[in-house]
């Protein structure tokens, strides 16, 4: 976007790129240069201050200990997360590898990705969300046409209707966690009890298949993302069926 304007800029022309505001300043004046140099020094100083706090426990002002975890979906984010003291991955968006692939990734391809993530965070919890496409996250090789994508075929509904894809993904996750990785599976866009039960059936089948194949797998903790109003009223009934819940504030706020 806007790249056509770059054609009129000569090679070697001085410019400043302000990533915070999305501005590009061509031929900045000496005073503007000095100001941005000051801002750059201030940012580096802040990074140094934050780095000194990296290994300190995350505690609220009233003394409550919380875990500060990474939010990612790309392998490139693993090292920065660990370098900055992440205590786990609070949300691993498994749809990211699907979105940059030319077709649905195979079980072995997914296994390779998930294993790298879980191995890097060995001993720390990793919350992997099952494939959450549809709405604002379409796949180029699997177009979905709906009048209102936000309310339609997405998240858990898509996965349960494409059970072979779901089974492939669950098997890859379980295999990647072999050896005791702290895997948690997160279900998106849950709106009724039947969806939780249906996923439980898929998980049981995947566990049994892999054990029959001689794979040492364990049952991961399973939770849901509260993203639709219907899920809020049903939480008391689900309390004994879930290991945890996560609040999907972006989608939930749109529906309220």
Q: How does pLDDT run across 174-228, given as a tens digit for each residue? A: 999 999 999 999 999 999 999 999 999 999 999 999 999 999 999 999 999 998 8
Whole-angstrom distance, CA of residue 74 vs CA of residue 76:
5
Q: Distance from first CA to last CA of the chain, Å, rounded?
A: 33
Q: Which domains does the chain have, with CATH numbers?
A: 3-50 (no CATH), 69-255 (3.20.20.60)
Global pTM value? 0.81
Model pLDDT for residues 73-109, shown as the tens digit of each residue = 999 999 999 988 999 999 999 999 999 999 999 999 9
- pLDDT average, residue stretch 99-120: 96
Q: How many contiguous H segments (helices) and E segments (strands) does the chain have? A: 9, 8
Is 162's pLDDT higher than 90?
yes
Model pLDDT for residues 29-40, shown as the tens digit of each residue = 999 999 999 999
pLDDT at 149: 55
Alpha helical stretches, state H, the chain: 30-52, 78-83, 95-99, 107-120, 155-161, 163-176, 193-212, 229-238, 249-255
Q: Which of 100-104, 131-135, 157-161, 208-212 has the lowest mean pLDDT?
A: 131-135
Q: How far is CA 13 from CA 16, 21, 23, 26, 30, in A?
A: 10, 21, 16, 8, 14
Q: Which of 141-145, 200-204, 219-223, 235-239 has the lowest mean pLDDT?
A: 141-145
Whole-angstrom distance, CA of residue 227 vs CA of residue 253:
8
Q: Which residues contact 82 (CB under 8 A, 6 or more apart)?
A: 120, 121
pLDDT at 171: 99
pLDDT at 128: 98
pLDDT at 215: 97
């Amino acid at each position: 976007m806007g790249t056509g304007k770059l054609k009129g800029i000569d090679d070697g022309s001085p410019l400043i790129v302000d990533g915070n505001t999305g501005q590009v300043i061509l031929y900045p004046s000496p005073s503007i240069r000095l100001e941005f140099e000051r801002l750059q020094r201030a940012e580096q100083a802040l990074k140094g201050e934050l780095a000194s706090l990296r290994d300190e426990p995350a505690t609220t002002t009233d003394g409550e200990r919380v875990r500060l975890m990474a939010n990612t979906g790309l392998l490139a984010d693993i090292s920065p997360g660990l370098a900055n003291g992440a205590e786990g991955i609070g949300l691993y968006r498994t749809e990211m590898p699907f979105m940059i692939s030319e077709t649905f990734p195979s079980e072995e391809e997914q296994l390779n990705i998930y294993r790298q993530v879980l191995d890097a965070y060995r001993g720390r919890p990793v919350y992997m969300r099952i494939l959450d496409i549809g709405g604002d996250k379409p796949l180029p090789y699997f177009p979905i046409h709906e009048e209102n994508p936000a309310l339609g075929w997405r998240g858990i509904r898509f996965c349960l209707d494409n059970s072979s894809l779901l089974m492939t993904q669950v098997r890859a996750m379980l295999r990647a966690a072999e050896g005791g990785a702290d895997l948690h599976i997160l279900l998106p866009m849950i709106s009724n009890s039947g969806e939780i039960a249906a996923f439980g059936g898929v998980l049981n089948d995947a566990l049994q298949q892999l054990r029959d194949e001689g794979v040492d797998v364990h049952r991961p903790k399973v939770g849901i993302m509260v993203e639709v109003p219907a899920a809020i009223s049903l939480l008391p009934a689900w309390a004994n069926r879930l290991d945890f819940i996560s609040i999907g504030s972006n989608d939930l706020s749109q529906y309220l």
